[in-house]
Amino acid sequence: MKAAIIILSDPKASSDEALGRLFNALAAAYDFDQKGDTVRILFQGTGTRWSGVLQNKEHPAYGLFQAVKHTVAGVSCGCADVFGAAEDAAASGMALIKDNPVPETSGLPSLQALIADGYTILTF
């Protein structure tokens, strides 16, 4: 089985919902990974802002993120540009993904390519 987990929640919302969505996305990635499935995490939209937030060792999701960090495919380049997260993404070592050349952007991840490669897409 292959799963692509897209994290869209916004840490700037400072809400239980945003944190809950992140936590459940990371927990799903952990579940797939522990069972030996192929899983990839992608941060898109305002979710690109998590790339900086998750570097904080005091963050409640830090430990879980560390357990699944090896499954992170990267951050949407175009979304990171729009939502001010490109610098944090680069500093965190996460790849800036731009294989979907959307006009007037620096590119986004190609969900079509993931589906064509057999991934089930889950959004949080």
* Mean pLDDT taken over the chain: 97
pTM for this entry: 0.95
Look at the chain and report how many structural domains it folds into: 1
Report pLDDT for 112: 98
Q: Residue 87 has what DSSP assignment?
A: H
Q: What is the pLDDT of residue 14?
A: 86
What is the mean predicted confidence (pLDDT) over 64-83?
Answer: 97
What would the pLDDT profile of 105-124 be if each residue is shown by its tens digit?
Answer: 999 999 999 999 999 999 99
For residue 76, the domain's CATH number is 3.40.1260
Residue 96 domain boundaries: 2-123
Summarised one tens digit per residue, pLDDT across range 34-69 is 999 999 999 999 999 999 999 999 999 999 999 999
